[in-house]
Amino acid sequence: MKLSHLIQSIPGIDSPDAADIDITFLTCDSRQVVAGTLFFALRGATVDGHDYIPQAIAAGAAAIVAEQPTLTAAVPEIVVPDGRLAMARMAACFNNDPTASRPLIGITGTNGKTTTTYLIEAILAAAGIRSAVLGTIAYRCGSTIIPASHTTPESTELQSAFRQLVESGAEAFVMEVSSHALEQKRVDGSHFDVAIFSNLTRDHLDYHLTMEHYLDAKARLFSELMIPDQCKPERHAVINMDDQYGASMAARAACPVLSYGGSPENDIYPVEVELSVRGISGCLHTPYGEFPFASKLLGRFNLSNLLAAVAAGVALKLPLQAIKAGIEGHATVPGRMERVENSHGITCLVDYAHTGDALQNVLTTIKEIATGRIITVFGCGGDRDNGKRPIMGAIAARMSDLAIVTSDNPRTEDPFVILQQVKAGITPLGLREYQAEELAAGDKACGYTVLEDRRGAIRLAIKLAQPGDIVLLAGKGHEDYQIIGTTKHHFDDREEAAAAFRERTP
């Protein structure tokens, strides 16, 4: 694609004299530069891409986009006020603007994003629309699966993924939108039809520092990226009004709002609901009528996810029959309350809950359906918000019969330091602390223990569980790795639990 054509996507930017050169690749990583690349020099938290312009040129960069003139560039240089915004818009243009002509539904919030994307995918399928899903687990459409580097990738990767998914037959896109992506303008250049706000609870404060900054990052999706325009004249914000930040988010929305929540004051709400071990059933109200439903998902927090997905279907003007069929046909999401089948009469659930709110939601659900003990295995990741560690420790210990504190992804932190910070939230509860070696099969211990080895912790939980008990393995969910230091090691809670059940004496 000609450089001059890419420059046209950035209003008010002059073309250099050599703007008719061919561009074959876009990147902001100088290590990826090859001949024909347009290199974006971006300022990061620890490095400045302008310092890598010489390396990019030496590697074959055909042109440079920078926020300040270098005066030494041996190739055409385009100076822009905002490098990330320019990259996002040029990336969309370079990939033929794949979201301009297809519906794009974005979901942002601390919890529930992945499950909601799966539910919307099922609703679209029931309406005869083949959708692509981009999120924490993967970017996929049919048999095309692109590994997920981030929940929301860099704009160059994102727009390339959109294009590949269109080539695979995608007729609509459903994507998770992270707060990092919004603040770093990775989704600018994408044309949203529907934006969903699920909730906001403490997370990522290692990056955002305060809840106010975290909220502001999420709000960009609604205040800046949902302004109706010629490309998408009908846009809708879908807002969870049960969340304490819902009203604030609705007030910031630059487009019509569809509200959902538990009360009849909302556009979409449950008329009656029953929660059981079989799932969620009842009747839902929408602006276009009510309908009965029965879902295989578990728990009140999944009812909120169901309402969000139904609201998205309403915003897209899909038939109620398709909305009903979609939510009823969807069974499970990898690593979200996912069962590990066994022949021992024990319910073993693997869930991605890695925040205090998510863990509390999952355990609240489990307590509503439990008939025996609840044994929870969980940990907190290293190099992340350490303020949530004692909060999660207190929640797990208070809401479980036995909590087993273990490692998650310690990364470059000392795992024992992390465990002590988690334990700091448990100690004030006055619960008995067991040494792991004290606990044996048949014990009905109540309290907590600390066992750094996650494999050993899972095996201990399953050894101690008895028929009718529920074992929750929280924090890693769908992940099939554990990060120790800077190295990823293969590790899957589901595989470990299945192996522990096989080893267990009948």
376 domain-assigned: yes
Q: What is the CATH number of the domain that holds 170?
A: 3.40.1190.10
Q: 482 and 367 share a domain?
A: yes
Q: Provide long-range contacts, Cβ within 8 A and 24+ apart, for 484-489.
A: 484/409, 484/410, 484/411, 485/411, 485/412, 486/411, 486/412
- In terms of domains, do 53 and 188 share one? no
Both 370 and 472 in one domain: the answer is: yes
> Where would I find the beta strands (DSSP E) of 23-129?
25-27, 37-40, 63-66, 77-79, 104-108
Out of 92, 118, 144, pick the residue that ends a domain: 92
CB 480, CB 491: distance < 8 Å: yes
Assess whether 177 and 30 both reside in one domain.
no
**Same domain flag for 370 and 499:** yes
* Cα distances (Å, whole numbers) of residue 373 to 71, 337, 391, 455: 69, 17, 22, 21
Q: Residues 322, 104, 359, CA angle at the centre, nearest 5°? A: 80
CATH number at residue 9: 3.40.1390.10
DSSP letter string over 246-282?
Answer: HHHHHHH-SS-EEEESSSTTSSBEEEEEEEETTEEEE
Q: Read off the pLDDT band of 209 (50, 70, 90).
A: low
In 10 A of CB 503, how many CB atoms?
10
Say if residues 91 and 51 touch (Cβ distance below 8 Å).
no
Question: Between β-strands 37-40 and 131-134, what pairing exists: parallel, antiparallel or unpaired?
Answer: unpaired
Question: Nearest Cα to 454, choosing from 418, 400, 401, 412?
Answer: 418
Q: Which CATH number belongs to the domain containing residue 497 in this structure?
A: 3.90.190.20
Q: Are 472 and 349 in contact (CB under 8 A)?
A: yes
Alpha-carbon distance of 139 to 399, in angstroms, equals: 35
pLDDT at 206 over 70: no
Residue 114 lies in a domain: yes
Residue 98 located in a structural domain: no
Same domain, 465 and 352: yes
- Determine, yes or no, domain membership for 87: yes
The DSSP code for 333 is: B
Tell me the pLDDT tens digit for each residue of 261-271. Answer: 999 999 999 99
Domain enclosing residue 58, as ranges: 3-92
DSSP state of 50: G
Cβ-based burial of 147 (10 A; exposed 0-12, middle 13-18, buried ≥19): exposed
Residue 182 shares a structural domain with residue 203: yes
Model pLDDT, residue 334? 85
- Reported as a single tens digit per residue, the pLDDT across 327-351 is 999 877 889 889 899 999 999 999 9
Residue 48 falls within a domain, yes or no? Answer: yes
Are 79 and 133 in a shared domain?
A: no
Comparison of pLDDT for 83 and 442, the residue scoring more: 83
Q: What pLDDT is attached to residue 11?
A: 84
pLDDT tens-digit profile of 66-110? 998 886 668 899 999 999 999 999 999 999 999 999 999 999 988
- Whether 180 and 118 share a structural domain: yes
Distances from the Cα of 272 to the Cαs of 120, 264, 283, 291, 292, in angstroms?
22, 11, 6, 11, 9
Give domain status of residue 425, yes or no: yes
Q: How many domains does the chain have?
A: 3
N-term to C-term CA, the chain: 65
From 329, 353, 382, the end of a domain falls on 329
pLDDT at 145: 87
Q: Assess whether 158 and 248 both reside in one domain.
A: yes
Residue 399 token pair: 């809401």
**Mean of the per-residue pLDDT values for the chain?**
92
Q: Is the pLDDT of residue 221 over 70?
A: yes
Beta strand spans in 121-256 (E): 131-134, 138-141, 144-147, 172-176, 194-197, 236-240
In the chain, % helix, strand, coil (3-state, to 5) comes to: 35, 25, 45
> Is residue 233 included in any domain, yes or no?
yes
Cβ-Cβ contacts under 8 Å for 51 (sequence gap 6 or more): none
Tell me the C-alpha distance between 17 and 11, whole Å: 17
Two tokens, residue 307: 């309402």
Cβ–Cβ under 8 Å, residues 473 and 354: no
Regarding whether 254 and 367 lie in a shared domain, the answer is no
Identify whether residues 439 and 352 lie together within a single domain.
yes
Domain boundary among 279, 295, 329: 329
Residue 97 domain-assigned? Answer: no
pLDDT score at 506:
73
